[in-house]
Amino acid sequence: MNIVIIGTGYVGLVSGVCYAEMGHNVVCVDHDANKIDSLNLGESTIFEPGLNEMMSRNVRSGRLSFSTKTIESVRNAEIVFIAVGTPPLPSGQANLNYVFKAAENIGESLSKYTIVAVKSTVPVGSNDVVEQIISSKFSGDFCVVSLPEFLREGSAIEDTFHPDRIIIGIDNNDERTKEQLKNFYAPLNVPMVFTDRKSSEMIKYASNAFLATKISFINEIANICEKLGANVEEVAYGMGLDNRIGMSFLKAGIGYGGSCFPKDTEALIQIAGNVEHEFKLLRSVVEVNQYQRMKILTKLKNSLGSLEGKEIGIWGLSFKPGTDDIRETPAIEIIDRILDHGGLVKVYDPIAMDNFKKVMDRPNIKWCSSSLRASENCDALCVITEWPEFKYIDLMKLKSIMRRPIIIDGRNIYSDHEIKEAGFDYFPVGKKASRTSGDIFHIQGGEI
């Protein structure tokens, strides 16, 4: 099929590359000319494992191309996917300007029956507006479908080829569109759920809100475990074996970040508020997440006393491993607070340093070329992102280069055994802290 993707960011680029790999002719469109220039030079604009090779292969085969020209590209398409951003407005509501602009551009370009499939995460009812915008520009036949995206950065290719399900929201029982989409996704051999557009839009928000709830729930359990001397990892394992609960999203840490959970939870609170329903549970989920980020600072302060003049190593900047995405990463707020309290930070991330430099322009940050460099002479080290290379570091060597052997582990990457053997003062999440000497630190409850 001839496929066009409007918006060539994390979702659009990965989807475009994967659809070309499935044998379709794909044009990825973006209004950012610099992005399209880089892609045309063969340089991927995002880090995603396996993406570069697959992209080059499909460009060489002639199935994949990149363009800034919506009208030319859309004219021959059978399916046009909208994958533009829906970032949060200051109120928390999703900004739909990009989606509506894309709809306008598509309306101006259509010349024959075409499916317009909206992958962008949009509030319930938005696709009705997309339909109105297109029909104000094009009087022929077309069908707007809600096709929410569930890929995860870091495993986006795997998720595109092997999703748990594909949700397709179509109104008016449009059989022709249904058949075409069934054919398009048939090679993936996964469950397809056909529903109405509004329910489809809600499935996306409800799924993300539920996953965020699981994370905040286990983080609250972790906070109680810390006080009672229980071990949240044992608790999560014991809970997860229950099929009704499941193992996933029960890893305690410093809370969720990224481009989806924070904005989608806020947006769902707004969506509910718009119909005069106060989503109390989700408000608490967001509040717990905010508190969880700050706990790493409480632990720092409790272990070091004042942060004034202290050197703090920061391992990991992206919101999770496997991506260079730093949108809503906890690292931003944590580093900001350390600097506000007079600390100096040394940071390292294997992939996300360049992106992070663009948003964090403050003095007293030293950008380091390796994890060991970022720990040299440090008074404490904070693990923010669980990149595998941090887990497999030589702990003895690490201890020998730090000024004080203190690790605040926001991701529980080390076992108690290895930490004890290496002789660190160690502050994990939801487990007992271990100290080489009980006398050095005065541990108390206060918050920074």
Ligand X SMILES: NC(=O)c1ccc[n+]([C@@H]2O[C@H](COP(=O)([O-])OP(=O)(O)OC[C@H]3O[C@@H](n4cnc5c(N)ncnc54)[C@H](O)[C@@H]3O)[C@@H](O)[C@H]2O)c1
- The distance of closest approach from Cβ of residue 86 to ligand X in the complex, given in angstroms and rounded to an integer, is 4
- The distance of closest approach from Cβ of residue 381 to ligand X in the complex, given in angstroms and rounded to an integer, is 29
Q: Which residues of 94-115 are buried (b: 16+ CB within 10 A; e: fewer)?
A: bbbebbbebbbbbbebbeeebb
- Measured CA to CA in angstroms, residue 28 lies from 3, 34, 181 at distances of 9, 14, 19
- The tokens describing 266, both together, are 């806020």
Cα gap 328→268, rounded to integer Å: 17
| C-alpha triplet 22, 23, 29: angle, nearest 5° | 90
As annotated, the active-site residues are: 260
Closer residue to ligand X (CB): 51 or 84: 84
Cα gap 75→80, rounded to integer Å: 10
Give the phi and the psi of residue 331 in degrees, each rounded to 5.
-55, -35
Closer residue to ligand X (CB): 34 or 172: 34
- The distance of closest approach from Cβ of residue 83 to ligand X in the complex, given in angstroms and rounded to an integer, is 5
- The distance of closest approach from Cβ of residue 436 to ligand X in the complex, given in angstroms and rounded to an integer, is 41
Cα gap 348→376, rounded to integer Å: 12
Closer residue to ligand X (CB): 98 or 414: 98
Residue with tokens 């009672």: 228
192-195 and 365-367 as β-strands: parallel, antiparallel, unpaired?
unpaired
Q: How far is CA 446 from the centre of its chain?
A: 31
**Which residues contact ligand X by CB under 6 A?**
6-12, 29-32, 35, 83-86, 98, 101-102, 105, 119-121, 149, 151, 153, 259-260
Closer residue to ligand X (CB): 332 or 339: 332
Closer residue to ligand X (CB): 28 or 222: 28
- The distance of closest approach from Cβ of residue 344 to ligand X in the complex, given in angstroms and rounded to an integer, is 32
Question: Do the beta carbons of residue 44 and residue 13 sit within 8 Å?
Answer: yes
C-beta neighbour count of 359 within 10 angstroms: 12
- Angle between helix 97-109 and helix 126-137 axes, rounded to 10 deg: 30
Nearest residue to the partner ligand X, using Cβ = 9
Closer residue to ligand X (CB): 27 or 260: 260
Q: Which residues of 428-444 are buried (b: 16+ CB within 10 A; e: fewer)?
A: bbbbebebbeeeebeee
Cα gap 439→417, rounded to integer Å: 21
- The distance of closest approach from Cβ of residue 303 to ligand X in the complex, given in angstroms and rounded to an integer, is 34
